[in-house]
Chain A
Amino acid sequence: MAVDFVFSFQCPEYFVLQVTINSIIYASEIAVIAVGVSLCYSILRFANFAHIQLAIVGGYLAYSFATIPGLTLPLPLAVFLAAIATGLIAVLIDIIVFSRIRHISAEGKMIVSWGVALFIRSMLAAIYGGSAKVFDVPTEVIVCQGGIFTTLDITVVGVTLLLMVLLHVFLFRTRTGSALRALASNYELAVTRGIPGDRLIRLMWFLSGALAAIGGSLFAMQTRLQPSLDLVILLPVFAAVTIGGMSNVFGAVIGAIVLSFAQNFLIWIDFGSLFFGEPWHIPTQLRDYIAVLALLLVLLLKSSRAGGEKK
């Protein structure tokens, strides 16, 4: 059966399916990382630059576990171990750094998190060197009703979905999860009601570190590893988190999807044929603009809404 997308312009419709698939894959790649940023924001109220660097750390750890001679673990196990190790690193960073500055302003924490990210990035570069490392993952190409994707793409999307379901179950179906949500909605109140704030914050760090590591490993398998990769995905991830409302964990997933669809479709749609009869589309190099503009737009909308509430 043919796919039922009917668009009014001349491009064959299976491209629409393909661009949709592309959007879903990219959304999955950034969603896992974006969720961790939101998780941290929801409880500690600051945008954590270091989180994205933790994803890269996780990728490198998984790479090491999978390739160090004598160890060469199978990939899923390597990623699992990397997730645990990165979760512990995140907790360690909290003990050494963030637990000591709980009282300072959000922007102060952001600056510190930049310092942490810079430190980790430089250390990664010192240890692994600046050149790219590549996971060699064998992939099969699957063609399905005109849409093309690979087995690795399925893994990426599947793992992302699974993680989101698990996270949802944890947050909404377990006592610990409810306690975390209570902390997120009103920290002071939750603590006075007997919820162990500090221990749960550590748990939150572990979770977001582990999520980052899995996200980073998937990312690395799709492309490569490089210490400065975090700078490249910083803006898309922050854009996704902002679109999703910063502190809403699943909002970040929605944000990733919205951003990815916007990026993929806006540069693909032939606006020229639609409006002027001459084929023309937004030049591909403007793809980066879409992420940054989305970020600015959402923040400015927030600004006008905040103003409305004040009056």
Chain B
Amino acid sequence: MRSWLSITLAGALATAGMLSVAQAADPIPVGVIANLTGQDVKTSLQMTRGVELAADDINAAGGINGQPIKLIVEDSEYRAQEALNAATKLYTVDKVEAAIMFGGSSLMIPVAQLAKEQGKVLINTSSSSPKLGEYPGTLFSILPLDDILAKDLGNLVAESGAKTAAVIVPNNAFGLGVAEAAAAAFKAKGGTIVETVAYTEGQPNYRADIQVLASKKPDAIITCGYGDDSRTILRTVRELGIDAPWYAAYPSILEVENPEWMNGKLSGVDNGGYAQGVGKAVLDKYKAKYKEDDILAHVYYGYDAMMVLAEAMKKGGTDAASIAKTMPEVVKSYEGASGKIVWDDRGQRIDPPLDIITYKDGKFETTGTKN
């Protein structure tokens, strides 16, 4: 009986909640969907905070032509079903015109289809599946597509003089996408991939996987992945005495476990431009607000997503159709925390400012750029 009561109560609360939203007509609601529970929580949380920082900035500067932004954050649990629940609630109950989302392609694509059906806008800050290009006018990506960045990564490895390379990536769309594009570029320049390890995320022990890689004695190791697993992997590699240099897509997302050992050994291609300008300002605000300085690129993606959205709302109106029409225009003149944003006609980020960065003395140094 108690459960029935709680349902009724929840229903009543829900209705009341909606009434209060309706009465406060002034703020403009913006949806945020992120996996605050489940896997990749840290990255997801930081993206959400990036959006919050941007909303703070926008509201402090007078909001959207006088109306403040009101963020509604929903959890996706890293499950497609819950992501759909969250998105449906945001689009149909909270009546948001646009939502900013973190999540893998298995969550992003169903939500993109829903957004398209509802005639709304979705801004992607985390998934780089090529399938996302199939929703022009609905889905816009702040994160650059991986194949662009990974191609440069493959070239970088080839230019380093390595003849053979091993690839170790997480067994997900992100990892396999990077592996494929980087390997293709490396092979095109005459390199050989001696081993590809696609590991299951969240494993407690990667010795078996890494031993396979060790027995091939590669000149270089190509990798990508999220902090939690990369820490375990880098440690195991160090302990097993594998000394090859590392080349990573987004090395700044990796968690360096032993700075001394990694000194000068890790480099890679990353989104350029965080270190100065807007990126630096966002970093400072983040540190001040959340008392944490271990920050990932997704803070900048979240920040830029909210900023671009707000700019479009200011210029062209706050309904989804106007946002979708105006955003590609305002993006052209927008200088973001993650650098210049260039979209192709499908709203996918291409030609991002790329930095080649190397890990030295406990931090990343920019050793080259490509704009």
Chain A contact residues, CB within 8 Å of chain B: 11, 15, 18-19, 22, 25-26, 29, 125, 129-132, 134, 139, 141, 143, 148-150, 219, 222-224, 226, 228-229, 232-233, 263-264, 267-268, 281, 283-285, 287-288
Contacts and interface: CB of A to CB of B under 8 A. Distances in A.
B212 A22 contact: no
A25 B211 contact: no
Nearest to A232: B202
Given A130-B36, A130-B38, A132-B228, A229 B202 contact: yes
Contact of B231 (A224, A228, A268): A224
B208 interface: yes
Interface in B29-62: 36-39, 41-42, 45
List of 3 A-B pairs having minimum Cβ-Cβ separation, nearest first: A130-B41, A131-B42, A22-B207
Contacts of A288: 200
A22 B215 CA distance: 14
12 contacts: A131-B42, A141-B238, A149-B239, A219-B204, A223-B204, A226-B202, A263-B208, A264-B208, A267-B208, A267-B212, A284-B197, A284-B209
B15 interface: no
Contact of A284 (B198, B214, B228, B232): B198
Interface in B97-137: none
Contacts of B202: 226, 228-229, 232
Contacts of B207: 22, 25-26, 264
Nearest to A140: B239
Contact of A141 (B215, B227, B228, B241): B241
B211 A264 contact: yes
A229 B204 contact: yes
B205 A26 contact: yes
B199 interface: yes
Given A15-B215, A130-B38, A288-B200, 8 more contacts: A22-B207, A22-B208, A29-B205, A125-B37, A130-B37, A223-B204, A224-B228, A267-B212
B212 A281 contact: yes
Contacts of B42: 130-132
B196 to A, nearest CB: 8
Given A15-B215, A141-B241, A226-B228, A284 B208 contact: yes
Nearest to A282: B212
Interface in B181-227: 197-200, 202-205, 207-209, 211-212, 214-215, 227
Given A22-B208, A25-B205, A224 B232 contact: yes
Contacts of A134: 231
A131 B45 contact: yes
Interface string B224-251: 0001100110000011110000000000
Nearest to B170: A285
Nearest to B238: A141
Contact of B211 (A141, A224, A268, A285): A268
A219 B232 CA distance: 12
B171 interface: yes
A278 to B, nearest CB: 14
A211 to B, nearest CB: 17
B205 A268 contact: no
B208 A228 contact: no
B239 A141 contact: yes
Given A219-B204, A284-B198, A148 B239 contact: yes
A13 B43 CA distance: 42
Given A224-B228, A268-B211, A268-B212, A150 B200 contact: no
A131 B208 contact: no
Which of A25, A125, A132, A267 has the most C-beta atoms of chain B within 10 angstroms of its own C-beta? A132
A149 B197 CA distance: 22
A223 B236 CA distance: 10
A18 B213 CA distance: 13
A98 B201 CA distance: 33
A19 B211 contact: yes
B231 to A, nearest CB: 7
